[in-house]
Structure 1
Amino acid sequence: NERGSGTDAKVYIIIFGKNNDTGKVPLAISKTHKDPFERGHTDLFEIEAMDIGEPKKIKIGHDDAGMLSDWLLERVEIDVPKMGRTWVFPCGKWLSTSKGDCQLELELYPKAMATEVYTPHVPYEIKVVTSKVSGAGTDANIFVEIYGTDKTTGEVMLCNKKERKGKFQTGSVDTFVLELEDVGQFIEKIRIGHDNTGWGAAWHLDRVEIRRLDKNKKSKTFIFPCDRWFAKDEDDHSIVRELVPEKILEEEVGKGGKLKVRENEVQNRLEMKRYTIDVYTGDKMGCGTDANVFCTIYGDRGDTGERELASSETHMNKFEKKQMDRFKIESADLGIIYKLKIRHDNSGPFADWLLAKVEVKDDIKTYVFHCERWLAKGKDTKLEQTLYEKD
């Protein structure tokens, strides 16, 4: 973070692995800063290269161009999701013709004990088919979460703002390849939605197809039909939905290179259910809220992910004193419900909220979550509460 440590020069890197090297790769477009390599910056770059194996050393340098070309490099971190590891290459030296060792290129080696190990990632091909109905396209940002039997990828955006142009338009088929945490061979469900941003956020999704890109194995494509709106003024006003696979397409190259394709119905797939959520506001002066409220319901078969409680079936002005507001959400079967997280975003002129209780009903049982606490930003209060049944 030293004064004058940033550079205007063009920076490149060569990564040397156990099997090969990447060749000289320009580090031109940072995913974190418009003007890269400035003082105090951490710049993130994504590069595609052949499989070079475990990184053993790097060469990094610049072309000494620009008015302020001297560069003080603190360190380089290389993350390889496929291997589930991050390598750290310490530096702390100038790349300059007049400072330090007066070198424009440095050779760096990974720090022995600084390698971070995590669960290896695998590539998933995610094909998103926007419907052909009028106004089906969206300007919003789309996210997805993939659930296996025991694991989830976590929520990820399908593309960044730079890659967003021209995608998710009416009738379009957009394909993304993302390296995500391995959820196993079977995909139980996905959660997909958007952030409701842009001029035309409403979106009509036809279907999603997901294929795990395994080498030398049968290719399985999971088909998730939808044919629903994701819009605050259409359908059930939801902008997040869970989808379960209806079919699996299996492709295998047989003898003589002939491609065999089989279509199978998914057996024992998760049942989609509609849950009723009754939210009871307390009975004290000023206990209602104007903030946006969100909840997550947990069962022994999974969770709903965070959902906004946006459209009350019982009141236009929701979450007011002594009021019960009813909401409905769709989710894959949660099983036995045992926990609920509820929060608000502290927005609006009167955000503080006294929550009395929440009741969640499925087609069999009503689960009661007592609260009787304020959700407020203060010394002894917080904006989120985790509640357990009959807590």
Structure 2
Amino acid sequence: MTEYRVSIKTGSGGFLSFAGTDDKIFCRLTDIHGRVTPKIWLKDDDKTSFEKNSVDNFRFFYDNAEFGDLLKCQVWKEGSDDWNLGTMLFTRKSNPEASFNFTFNETIMQKMVERFVDGTTANKIISYKIAVKTANVNGAGTDGDVTLNIIGSNGQTLPRELDNFKNNFEAGDTDKFEIKALNVGKIEKIVLSVADKGIKSDWTCESVTIRFGDPEERYFFSVNSVIKGGNSYEVFNPTYEKDEPVKPKKPLPVLHFFRGTVETSNKSMGGTDANVTIHLGDKNGKLIGPIKLKESGSALEKGAKDPIEISLIEPFAELNTLQVQHDGKGVGSDWHLSQITLTEFSVLDKKTPVGEPKVFIFNEWIKANNPSTKTAAVKGEPEEPEDPATPDYKTFLVGKVTTADKYFSGTDADVQMFVTDSNGVLIGPVDLKDAQKSKTMERGSVDIVMIQSTVEITDLHKVQVKHNGSGAFSNWGLKTIELKKVKKFPTKEEILVKNYLNTGMKVFNFNKSLEAGRWYDSGDDADRVDYEVVVQTAKGVFSGTFDKVQFNIIGDKGKTLFQTYDNIGSDQNAGGTDKYTKRLIDLGNLQKLVIKKSGNDTWKLDNIKITNKKNDHQWLFDNNGQEVKKQEVEIPAEQIKFGKNRIEGEVYTSDFQNAGTDATVQCSKYWRVRARASAGERERAARSLARLEILVALARSSKIK
């Protein structure tokens, strides 16, 4: 019987946190061989322990002489308090110098929290990702507990129960698990065991796949055997694959180094969300570029002075010209650039200037895909600024945002909004609130919003709102957003004196608490449509993925933005078909699908079919089994089923004697004429319909009534 001692430090919890708890605290320990202790209750009958900033000592006994050095500690509690756990330090009475410290620094609520031991031991831990496929035959599944022992050149994991709190090992299913253990080296074999649970204990396993490391190593074990309940089964000779490591390229020597600033003017809507590039030209006419000045983000805002650094690896004479352009992406794309200043420095220390600063004065609106080139002037030389034109704003919106009058309804977070018209045209994201600059969205407040955009919308159909959760109070109790289109912005006097915001407003009701990081949609439920999304993963070993998958479905009436598609159980398995039903706005005619995923798995996607359940239209997004990696993938839509979208009409029988018929008449084709069809197209369709009427009339005249 081994006596263990544990010293537990409760944290401070931070602002507005009580940190301590009177709840029951439990833990469970795992050693480096995967052996696990029973549940350990850290008993505190007097409820004097686990107070804020306190250190409490406990002891417990465990009767297992083979239990080794500690690897992992799991902690959970029973009760409703939030407990801020700092650290847990374990020692054995027989060897107090061998200590095992676990650093948590986390508030424990209702879920279990686990940590690996501090120090060098944790550095040797491997995360093994396991995919177990049960054969797709009757009676292949099992209700017995399944364990897996991975055996390699450096040791073994010992039997680990495969359990992810789901209904695993059903016929035809692929179940995914994760085992963390010391590195066993080159994997040589595995041992699968099934507990005897009586009825339905026998299990037919098809295969086991083990992945780990970076670059990733993969071991595929073909099992294809029945494992009887209460027995074990050894599998040898795995198929092995390993990704090629990415070899770092040897950097080329830098021949020229520039440092400077980009100054955006202080004009209204002067900043840009677009991707900006520049080309540098020397006095001999040589041009180098494009050089990324900005990828879509937070730089180049109105009135900003952003630092830049540029390194050139090509020979380059004295800097003479600078060309700027952007791709127009984002809502605020047009950019009013004031000037760019660049100074060349020594490549040795990047501190000693080489020559005078060069100033490129623009003072103009830079339009999308319309480059502007300027010649350098030595800093200090005067140049007459241009009188730039104001952007061509086409939409002006005025409105108010009402926050609920309840405790903690206000928010300190950054808030953004999209506005969509009934045709799916989108304005946004619009910054409704900046946590660093604004004290709006307080409890019970009504905040005025004014939006101008170069995008023209016909009406106000819906708004979507999201916040980032920053600040002490993040969740936001949003009541309503009210908006209306105007021809020009009113003055403050007009808003206050003329009761401007109480007439002609479109009211979007939310009446809910908005959590961070999620888009909330105000669209009427009556306007929503159920879409069935069927995802077909390609067949073959390693075609599936453990990563989180997100889709952005784009139609001619709107887009969903990125949403996660995940069913209970494991999705995106090799050769698997996953079905999802989403209630979305009516996207109209689907145009494309954008896919992104987390993690480094390579997912081989065969195709995706999306069906509008309201009218049975169906679109195919065919990826032909190509790999989907971490970057976004865009797939065009092909409509393969038109559902209820057909032309219906009447067939008129002529008034001739005996023109009627008892015969069965069939029409094998439909004619579709576009709403904007040319006169020639309409004439051809009319001739086709006339020929149909003649044929039907002839068929009917063959039968004497």
Amino acid at match of 1:205: L
User: Relative to total residues, which structure has the larger helix share, 1 or 2?
Assistant: 2
In the TM superposition, what are the counterparts of 1:153-232 in structure 2 within 5 Å?
Answer: 153-159=426-432, 161=434, 165-184=438-457, 186-194=459-467, 202-215=475-488, 220-231=504-515
Partner in structure 1 of residue 610 of structure 2:
359
User: Alpha carbons of 1:165 and 1:276: their partners in 2 closer, same or farther (altered >3 Å)?
Assistant: same
Partner in structure 1 of residue 364 of structure 2:
78
In the TM superposition, what are the counterparts of 1:256-275 in structure 2 within 5 Å?
Answer: 271-275=526-530
Decide whether the 8 Å contact of 2:396 with 2:485 is kept in 1.
Answer: yes
User: Alpha carbons of 1:294 and 1:127: their partners in 2 closer, same or farther (altered >3 Å)?
Assistant: farther
User: Alpha carbons of 1:359 and 1:305: their partners in 2 closer, same or farther (altered >3 Å)?
Assistant: closer
2:518 to 239, 244, 247: 239
For structure 2, the 5+ residue unaligned runs are 1-255, 268-298, 311-321, 325-335, 341-352, 491-499, 642-705
Partner in structure 2 of residue 106 of structure 1:
383
Amino acid at match of 2:603: D
Partner in structure 2 of residue 267 of structure 1:
none
2:403 to 127, 130, 145: 130
> Distance in 2 between the 1:362 and 1:14 partners?
50
Partner in structure 2 of residue 309 of structure 1:
564
Structure 1 residue 180: Cα displacement: 0.8
> Distance in 1 between the 2:413 and 2:581 partners?
24
Structure 1 residue 309: Cα displacement: 2.1
Q: Within the alignment, does 1:384 sit opposite 2:654 as a pair?
A: no
Q: Secondary structure at the match of 1:154?
A: strand
Q: Secondary structure at the match of 2:573?
A: coil
Percent pairwise identity: 13
Q: Which has the higher contact order (CA 8 A, sep 6+)?
A: 1
Q: Within the alignment, does 1:31 sit opposite 2:301 as a pair?
A: yes
Partner in structure 2 of residue 293 of structure 1:
549
> Distance in 1 between the 2:600 and 2:366 partners?
46
User: Alpha carbons of 1:299 and 1:286: their partners in 2 closer, same or farther (altered >3 Å)?
Assistant: same
Aligned length: 304
Decide whether the 8 Å contact of 1:138 with 1:169 is kept in 2.
Answer: yes
User: Alpha carbons of 1:167 and 1:216: their partners in 2 closer, same or farther (altered >3 Å)?
Assistant: closer
Decide whether the 8 Å contact of 2:393 with 2:452 is kept in 1.
Answer: no
Amino acid at match of 1:357: I
2:620 to 369, 372, 391: 369
> Distance in 1 between the 2:471 and 2:600 partners?
25
Q: Secondary structure at the match of 1:106?
A: coil
Partner in structure 2 of residue 284 of structure 1:
540
User: Alpha carbons of 1:324 and 1:169: their partners in 2 closer, same or farther (altered >3 Å)?
Assistant: farther
User: Alpha carbons of 1:202 and 1:316: their partners in 2 closer, same or farther (altered >3 Å)?
Assistant: farther
1:143 to 386, 393, 416: 416
Q: Over residues 309-347 of structure 1, what are the superposed CA-to-partner deviations in whole Å (9 max), with x where a residue is unaligned?
A: 25x3x424443341424242332x334x444414013x2
> Distance in 1 between the 2:366 and 2:304 partners?
24
Q: Secondary structure at the match of 1:193?
A: strand
Q: Secondary structure at the match of 2:528?
A: strand
User: Alpha carbons of 1:89 and 1:152: their partners in 2 closer, same or farther (altered >3 Å)?
Assistant: same
Decide whether the 8 Å contact of 1:78 with 1:87 is kept in 2.
Answer: no
Note the aligned Cα RMSD (angstroms).
Answer: 5.1
Structure 1 residue 201: Cα displacement: 5.6
Q: Over residues 275-299 of structure 1, what are the superposed CA-to-partner deviations in whole Å (9 max), with x where a residue is unaligned?
A: 2433334243223333343333345
User: Alpha carbons of 1:130 and 1:38: their partners in 2 closer, same or farther (altered >3 Å)?
Assistant: same
Q: Secondary structure at the match of 2:383?
A: strand
In the TM superposition, what are the counterparts of 1:41-80 in structure 2 within 5 Å?
Answer: 72-79=358-365
User: Alpha carbons of 1:77 and 1:216: their partners in 2 closer, same or farther (altered >3 Å)?
Assistant: closer
> Distance in 1 between the 2:434 and 2:639 partners?
41
For structure 1, the 5+ residue unaligned runs are 16-28, 44-54, 61-67, 97-102, 233-237, 246-269
Structure 1 residue 187: Cα displacement: 1.8
Structure 1 residue 225: Cα displacement: 1.4
User: Alpha carbons of 1:131 and 1:89: their partners in 2 closer, same or farther (altered >3 Å)?
Assistant: farther
TM-score (ref. length: structure 1): 0.57
Decide whether the 8 Å contact of 1:124 with 1:177 is kept in 2.
Answer: yes
> Distance in 1 between the 2:364 and 2:309 partners?
20
Partner in structure 1 of residue 692 of structure 2:
none
User: Alpha carbons of 1:77 and 1:348: their partners in 2 closer, same or farther (altered >3 Å)?
Assistant: same
Amino acid at match of 1:145: F
Structure 1 residue 150: Cα displacement: 4.8
